[in-house]
């Protein structure tokens, strides 16, 4: 299912800038937003910001990379919801290791209903502003469990017992980390 393209056609640069702005709501490790976007006339470039990396909890940068990947996903979904086809170049230039991806708009396409729905979800469920924490419970729905499959990932919903085991392991890890200079 698709929706009709809007009557007013936005320029590709404006669409890329909006995608970058909306991607700023992507969740990131400890709300650090470890990325920076460069909006160019025909492409959007995603850079890792290493000085925001948390060396104590993420020494190898794995969580930083996952956070940047989430921002990349958000930008892609926004562009798709606005009816833009795109090509994603991952790790496009070995000379710039912090340049993780580039998104090139390839022209207008019908906007998939699922992308429109995901953008609506992003507006409700996103990273809190710096210094703020949201309250309430986050419940996963059917679409939340299926969405990672479309990206080649897997989401494992934990049972109550597994949550307790994970909390105990995290507490132990936190104590060990606190004792490690």
Query: Domain holding 111: CATH number?
Result: 3.40.109.10
Instruction: Give the tens place of pLDDT for each residue, 10-24.
Output: 699 999 999 999 999
**For residue 133, what are its two tokens?**
């924490």
Query: For a pLDDT cut of 70, what percent of the chain falls above it?
Result: 81
Query: Does the structure show a pLDDT above 60 at 172?
Result: yes
The reply to whether 17 falls in a domain is yes
d(CA 133, CA 26): 14
Residue 158 to residue 63: CA distance in whole angstroms: 20
Q: Given a cut of 70, is residue 87 above it in pLDDT?
A: yes
Count of positions (residues) in the chain: 181
Count how many domains the chain has. 1
Sign of CA dihedral 76, 80, 81, 83: positive
Residue 16 inside a domain? The answer is yes
Please determine, for residue 114, whether its predicted confidence score (pLDDT) is greater than 70. yes
Rg value, the chain, Cα: 18
Note whether residue 113 is domain-resident.
yes
Confidence band, pLDDT 50/70/90 cuts, at residue 3: very low
Supply the pLDDT for residue 180.
81
Q: What is the pTM of this model?
A: 0.72
Q: Where does residue 144 fall: left (phi above 0), alpha (psi -120 to 50 degrees), or beta otherwise?
A: alpha
* Residue range(s) defining the domain that contains residue 46: 2-133
| pLDDT at residue 58, as a whole number | 93
In a domain, 166, yes or no: no
Confidence of residue 123 (pLDDT cuts 50, 70, 90): confident
Q: Is the pLDDT of residue 128 over 80?
A: no
Counting residues of the chain whose pLDDT is more than 90, the rounded percentage is 58
């Amino acid at each position: 299912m698709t929706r009709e393209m809007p009557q007013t056609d936005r320029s590709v640069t404006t669409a890329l800038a909006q995608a970058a702005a909306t991607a700023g709501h992507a969740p990131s490790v400890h709300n650090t937003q470890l990325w920076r976007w460069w909006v160019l006339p025909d492409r959007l470039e995603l850079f890792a910001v290493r000085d925001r990396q948390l060396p104590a909890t993420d020494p190898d940068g794995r969580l930083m990379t996952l956070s940047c990947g989430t921002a990349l996903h958000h930008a892609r979904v926004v562009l798709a919801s606005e009816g833009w086809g795109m090509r994603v170049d991952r790790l496009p230039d070995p000379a710039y290791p912090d340049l993780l991806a580039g998104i090139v708009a390839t022209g207008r396409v019908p906007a998939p209903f699922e992308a429109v729905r995901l953008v609506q979800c992003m507006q409700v469920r996103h990273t809190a502003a710096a210094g703020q924490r949201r309250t309430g419970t986050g419940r996963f729905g059917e679409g939340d469990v299926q969405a990672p499959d479309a990206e080649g990932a897997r989401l494992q919903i934990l049972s109550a017992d597994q949550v307790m085991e994970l909390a105990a392991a995290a507490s132990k890890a936190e104590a060990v980390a606190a004792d490690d200079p």
